[in-house]
Structure 1
Amino acid sequence: MITRLEEIPVTKESYPFASAERYLKLSERGYVEKEYYMCGTANVYETADERGGVRVRTADAPYTNRIIVRAPQDTAKCSGNVVVEIINPTSFMEIDRMWILGWKKFVRDGDIYVGITSKPNTIAKMVEFDEKRYGCLSWANPTPDVPFSERLQATGGLGDLNHDYETGLFWDMLTDLAWLLRGDEEQNPIREYKREYVYLTGWSQSGSYLFRYLNSFAYRPEVARGACVFDGYLSGGGVHSLGIPVNQYECRDPYHYSLTRVEKAREPFIAVQTESENGRMEAWRIAQQDSDDPEFLFRQYDVTGASHDTSYSYVDYYQNDPDLVRINHLPFYMGKNEEGNDYPSQILFAAAFRNLFTWVRTGAAPVHCDRIAIDSDGENKKDAFGNTIGGLRTCLLDYPTGRYSNTSDIEKGQNFLDPESEKEGLLGYQQAFSKEMIKELYGTLAHYREMAEKNTKEQVTKGFVCREDAAELVEIAVQLAKKRGLE
């Protein structure tokens, strides 16, 4: 139950962590950014059966969380779409990756964005960023005297076990927020806007949170309240090898494979993944086919060329933010290769969001997308140029001027997921073809532009690229070809 939603004032000295207003000047784009304390009580659940059933472990534990809201300044310009993001916590920092990938589409179409802190392990960095602003945040463990098992202490869970907090408070927070956004209560921060459809999205670990929410919570009678909590779902880069526990005491418990993917989706669900998840993160092991079954409305897009993180989404967006430098948490490319993978997956995510919204509003499902081809070992198959075969493609791959990898070589010890590894499977790299090879393939820059435009027009027709983004995609490809020597 949410008992209080309180707007947090923004001043020159105090502003939201990783503020989009500071990075993007949202106010100049006709958008406002507001942050709120969300206070209330939540149940902590425990596993009841291997297929995702849950029961209450501890009832009505108090919490203070935060949400971030980005919406049109002019309420009349609102599209009626509300996108709720489970903010990613994997690096112990708030990463609103689905906002980063989708903001251009959200802003031009008038969509509302609401991000919710999804795990208390990020609070320490927010407090370091601004103790006065975030010092009151609390996910207090309602059973602090209950010890972790010896096995759990030995394995370390997900690396953030802490008797002071409880990750399992999140599920009720998310449900209660969804119902608040739908309703007309005075404390609803978007009550003045048109709110026709509410969607849930999440990236990477947060995509896995989304899987668990659908499998264990969304269709429980007391959660659904005779309707649907969310009208549609879009997961990005979901890690299918990661089972999300319903509370921290169950970290590293064995999971049925069905809990690492979505088993039921009565509302439209689009899964977008990159080469990283398909290969190194083994999504191919539990692959699911597209479906129009009323119990499983599902589409999957494999974004060929893209790595889990890209230079655009993980490095460039933060603009060398001095605040993130100050708290020693500025994302950077650590690969030995000259250029990090900068495949423009954000353009394909924009189309995926639009396709989801259309599917929900009209019932017209998106067209099917080819999947990435894999070999007998589950690795992504490569073509003669060294690029991956199949999947959702653009002119950058159909008319390549270089090769894209989902994995970078790094110095040993830099990989925070595996300090012993000399490979980084999250942010890959790109490697240009020689000037002579590019010229032999395409002749002139004008001819290359012509081919890129034709290819992109086809992708727009299929619905994989928004018409508004077509020129930008072509220009990215053309400028890259020019940089690599095509004249």
Structure 2
Amino acid sequence: MNTPFRTMAGATLRRGTLAAALACASWSALAAVPQATVTPTATPGFGARAAFFGDADFVEQEVHLSGLARKFKGSGSLGSDGKWTATVVSSATPYNTMAIVRRPADPARFNGIVLVEWLNVSTGYPLDVDWGMAHEAILREGYAYVGVNVQKVGMQGVQKLKQFGDRYAAGSIPDDDISYDIFSQTAQALRDQSALLLGNLKPAKIIATGHSQSAMRLATYANAIQPLDQVYDGILIHGRGGIGTRIGAGDSLPSSYVVRADTKVPVFVLQSEMDVAFGPSTSKQPDGAKVRHWEVAGTSHADQYLLDNIGEVSGRDVGWTPPGCGSPYNASSFYMAENAAIHHLKNWVTAGTAPPVAPRMERDWLGFIKKDAHGNAVGGVRLPDLEVPIAKYSHANFTTGSLAFLDLFACVAGGNTTYFKADKLKTLYPTHADYVNKVKAAADAAVAKGYIRPADRDAAVKRAQAAAVPQ
């Protein structure tokens, strides 16, 4: 079978002569983002989601990216303030990888913003976590989306899947030290080769996103690579841990660090309650002229909404669906806060309008997050779920069966929901109308504060109207 990966492999290797010339070039030439070769494919591949677009008139296709990637190394002090300097140490590592493109079919519906997700490979496969969280807003508000696999294990994962034959056989990412450059080359390709990636759409601004492991790498990217390459207009770091990932071989990072305060592009750090509970050092991130940090109370690293969405494709392509755990997954509406964060980033990069500063979660004298009388977190960004609670939303869960890594991960990261008993609901909300009116008020307040979008406000009210509260 003649796949795009196979046809690109020879061309990639022939670039060795160019790489040798680049190795002798000036540092400024090395620092320029190399051009990737972009090869669209005719059929959907791993992670295809067009079947779930509903009434949205979106186009989905897979593209293959290949080229020669640079490697970086930290230069000077890599301190906790994130003000790092990276230098190019090589520029001749061949790679072949895949990306998923989803975009409005009608240019009139395109809002000009392309979201580029650093696909998450914690499961061994490249999963589109931020799409899973924000897909309703992306489809509704006309963003274009590119999910790119930039890590070795992600490529190895799709190569193991027999249903795709040799589609990915020539894919190659030798090591993750080139992940930063593949990510830069993706944005550069969107600027220089938009017709191949986006058809008749022209991007006005490009925003990077990444969750969990990808968020930690994206934090390193924001501190060290973005200042060098300057290819993204904004960055959304979603669910980062306190630790970081190296720039290159031999680098030693501090035990914790923040996003640099002097970033030239807006950076939005969006954290769940679980993220700041397990990584309290991330709460040291200061808000600034170009940095915003939100901590969303009552939320988990993953949740029911996200795991259901991931399960749509992982069950089909990988044979994995979220397992049953000791208690229900966290059912809060964290996705609404991400929808709002993306909207704020859009306004920040296009009009210079900064997002609202939000309060942090409150902590006791031991440093633990304070809880209210219902067992829910105090402070932070508060969604209608927390302002008008029908449950305790937490992040303690466990598996009741399988000890396989993915099942353990889903149960731990998925958090839990402990619903209030009928007598407590009756005390809190004497009538159904009382409950609905309180949700309406809380949702209106959340919109006014900028924590949720109007469409999500309507969804929250509709859910309240359908809920059997009180029982």
What TM-score, normalized to structure 2? 0.85
1:357 aligned partner:
346
Question: Matches of residues 51-66 of structure 1 in structure 2 within 5 Å?
Answer: 51=78, 52-66=84-98
Q: 1:318 aligns with which of 305, 311, 317?
A: 311
Contact 1:208 1:261 (8 Å CA) reproduced = no
- 2:325 maps to which residue? 335
How do residues 43-58 of structure 1 correspond to structure 2 at under 5 angstroms? 43-51=70-78, 52-58=84-90
TM-score, structure 1 normalization: 0.83
Counterparts of 1:401 and 1:344, CA distance in 2: 13
8 Å Cα contact 1:208/1:238 also seen in 2: yes
From 136, 152, 157, the counterpart of 2:170: 136
Structure 2 partner of 1:301: 294
CA positional deviation for 1:426: 1.2
Pairing partner for 1:40 from 61, 67, 70: 67
Partner of 1:233: 235
Contact 1:240 1:261 in 2 (8 A): no
Q: Distance in 2 between matches of 1:417 and 1:353?
A: 28
Shift of 1:67: 1.1
1:244 maps to 2:273: no
- Given that 1:395 and 1:474 are in contact with CA atoms closer than 8 Å, whether structure 2 keeps it comes out as no
- Identical pairs, percent: 24
Equivalent in the alignment of 2:56: 29
DSSP 3-state at the match of 1:36: strand
Secondary structure at the aligned position of 1:354 is classed as: helix
**Count of paired positions:** 431
- Alpha-carbon spacing, 1:123–1:113, altered in 2? closer, same or farther (3 Å): same
Which residue number in structure 1 is paired with residue 99 of structure 2?
A: 67
| C-alpha contact 1:86 1:117 (8 A) present in aligned 2 | yes
Letter in structure 2 aligned against 1:197:
K
**Residue 414 of structure 2, aligned match among 423, 427, 432:** 427
Report the Cα distance in structure 1 between the residues aligned to 2:114 and 2:198, rounded to whole angstroms.
Answer: 9
Residue 288 of structure 2 aligns to which amino acid in structure 1? S
Q: Secondary structure at the match of 1:376?
A: coil
Q: Distance in 1 between matches of 2:354 and 2:188?
A: 26
Which consecutive segments of 4 or more residues in structure 1 shift more than 6 A? none
**Are 2:311 and 1:282 aligned?**
no
User: Offset at 1:353?
Assistant: 0.7
Structure 1 stretches lacking a partner, 5+ long: 140-164
| Cα shift at 1:418 | 12
- Matched position secondary structure for 2:443: helix
Contact 1:106 1:112 in 2 (8 A): yes
Output one character per residue of 1:445-474: Cα deviation in whole Å (capped at 9) or x when no partner.
111001110111111112111112211112
Letter in 1 for 2:325: G
Instruction: Identify the structure with the greater helix proportion.
Output: 2
Residues in 2 aligned to 1:306 and 1:414: alpha-carbon distance in whole angstroms: 24
CA contact (8 A) 1:79 1:194 kept: no
CA distance in 2 between partners of 1:75 and 1:187 (Å): 13
Let me know the Cα RMSD of the aligned residues: 2.4
Q: Confirm or deny: 8 A CA contact 1:277 1:283 kept in the other structure.
A: no
**Do the aligned residues in 2 keep the contact of 1:333 with 1:427 (CA within 8 Å)?**
no
Kindly state the Cα deviation for residue 76 of structure 1 after the two structures are TM-superposed. Answer: 2.4
- Match of 2:65, as an amino acid? M
Query: Which segments of 5 or more consecutive residues in structure 2 lack a partner in the other structure?
Result: 1-33, 79-83
| 1-structure distance, mates of 2:122, 2:261 | 24
Shift of 1:394: 1.9
**1:321 Cα deviation (Å)?**
5.3
Question: Is structure 2 residue 113 aligned with structure 1 residue 81?
Answer: yes
What CA distance in whole angstroms lies between the structure 2 residues aligned with 1:311 and 1:55?
A: 42
Distance in 2 between residues matched to 1:323 and 1:190, nearest whole Å: 26
Corresponding letter in the other structure for 2:303? T
- Correspondence 1:45-194 to 2 at 5 A: 45-51=72-78, 52-129=84-161, 130-139=164-173, 165-183=174-192, 185=193, 188-190=196-198, 192-194=200-202
**Contact 2:298-2:332 within 8 A present in 1 as well:** yes
Q: Distance in 2 between matches of 1:356 and 1:291?
A: 14
Q: 1:186 to 1:455 in 2, by over 3 A?
A: closer
Counterpart Cα distance in 2 of 1:426 and 1:263: 30
Superposition deviation, residue 244 in structure 1 = 0.7
Once the two structures are superposed, the pairs formed by residues 445-456 of structure 1 within 5 Å of their partners are: 445-456=432-443
1:274-304 CA-to-partner distances (Å, cap 9, x unmatched) read 01111013345x5122212xxxx11111111
Which secondary structure does the structure 1 equivalent of 2:115 belong to? strand
In structure 2, the residue matched to 1:218 is 226
